[in-house]
Amino acid sequence: MIDGGLRNLFKSHLPRMHIQPIESWGTGVGLPDFNYCFDGKEGWVECKVATANAVTITPGQVSWAERRLRAGGRILLAVRRHAPAGPRRGAGYDELWLFPGCATRHVAIHGLLGYKPLGCWRDGPAAWDWPCVQKILLA
């Protein structure tokens, strides 16, 4: 799962929000994973998965986010840092990190710890503060 299952998690945990996944390579280089709209507010979310600090973000994704931000758009970067338990890793972890779109280039270069997130939730999707996530999406 290239996005860590985040599109489906956002859809299932924020059911009143209209979430439109974008699945086509023909729509443009760097286009985020989904568009959302609720209560007259609209935006885009790029979803990533990581097992450690590093996050793979393409130059096209960085430039798309920066162009949209310059035009006044709302962009967020959602990263699911997920690693199952194991003998070397211990208990494992399942976290959601949410960054403003302006952090996309910074996170691509410096990883999760290189920019202060808007929110970070641990212990898996059932424990993540979805009302807070929605508030951030609509801020």
What confidence tens digit (pLDDT) does each residue in 77-135 have? Answer: 999 999 877 776 667 899 999 999 999 999 999 999 999 999 999 999 999 999 999 99
Position 26 pLDDT exceeds 70: no
Are 56 and 65 spatial neighbours (Cβ–Cβ below 8 Å)?
no
CA–CA distance, 134 with 1 (Å, rounded to integer): 23
122 in a structural domain: yes
88 in a structural domain: yes
| Residue numbers of the domain that contains 84 | 6-138
- Number of residues in the chain: 139
- Residue 60 is part of a domain; what is its CATH number? 3.40.1350.10
77: phi then psi, degrees, rounded to nearest 5: -115, 120
68 in a structural domain: yes
How many structural domains are present in the chain?
1
The two beta strands, 119-121 and 18-21, are unpaired
109 in a structural domain: yes
